[in-house]
Structure 1
Amino acid sequence: MKSRLKAKLKAQLTVAVIAGAVAQVSALLLSFTVDLSADAVSPTTLVLYGAATVLLTYRCVIFDARRAFSAAVKKRYVIVEGTPPHINWIRPIFPGRWLAHLHIRLHPELVDDREA
């Protein structure tokens, strides 16, 4: 049980790092295009912009991972069987593989106990 929680937290940290990186890159691009001197833009506005970017990116990555996993199941790149559903087989290479694996890591209950 602890390994499942650890895997889920690690996957959530991966998504958070991706969201943080997107926020940093967007802030860098913003700083190139807009005058961000102390009197031009409020620091509170920049913090709110960064926080909103991180939260929206976090949700988008999770949504994309769920969508990639659903598409992989629909196209039989990932075989899910049983009640509750468990992953029976994963094709080694398929489009959207990284996002589908991220979804699986975010939901460790999909992996059989003997495989975890």
Structure 2
Amino acid sequence: MKSGLIVKIKAQLTVALIACAITQTSAILLSLAVDLSGGAVPPTALVLYGAATVLLAYRWVLSDARRAFDAALRQRHVVVEGCPPRIISIRPTFSGRWLSLLYIRMHPELCKGKEA
């Protein structure tokens, strides 16, 4: 059984990888739209752009996961039991299931002691 801290760190790394992928994709699209090979844009500006984009994308994924989890709670797609209520599962018919599971992994105290 994995500890809650390991699960939380893995979830944070997943969010960071998604943020880096979004940044790389936007940088590729930017380089296709603008000729970056001629030195028209200083490297410092590109580094600042990349850093800001990673931070914004990281926050964006976290807020999307939170909204998906809140929607799952509102629409009763989350199966809970016990007192205090612990999350047992999320119904597979919920469209935001992956983001909700990511949110649950970011907050292992919501689970019943096992990985969701």
Q: What amino acid is the match of 2:100?
A: A
Matched, 1:57 2:57: yes
Count matched residues: 114
Matched with 2:8 is: 8
Secondary structure in 1 matching 2:79: strand
Q: CA separation in 2, counterparts of 1:19 and 1:38?
A: 28
Q: CA separation in 1, counterparts of 2:2 and 2:98?
A: 24
1:20-31 equivalences in 2 (<5 Å):
20-31=20-31
Normalising by structure 2, what TM-score?
A: 0.89
Q: CA separation in 2, counterparts of 1:88 and 1:98?
A: 15
Runs of 4+ in 1 over 6 A off after TM superposition: none
**1:34-69 CA deviation, whole Å, 9 max, x = no partner?**
121353001000000000010000000000000000
Normalising by structure 1, what TM-score?
A: 0.89
What stretches of structure 1 of length at least 5 have no aligned partner?
Answer: none
1:70-109 equivalences in 2 (<5 Å):
70-80=70-80, 82-83=83-84, 85-109=85-109
Which shifted more, 66-75 or 37-46?
37-46
After superposition, the CA RMSD in angstroms is 1.7
Q: CA separation in 2, counterparts of 1:28 and 1:60?
A: 20
Cα shift at 1:107? 0.6
Secondary structure in 2 matching 1:79: strand
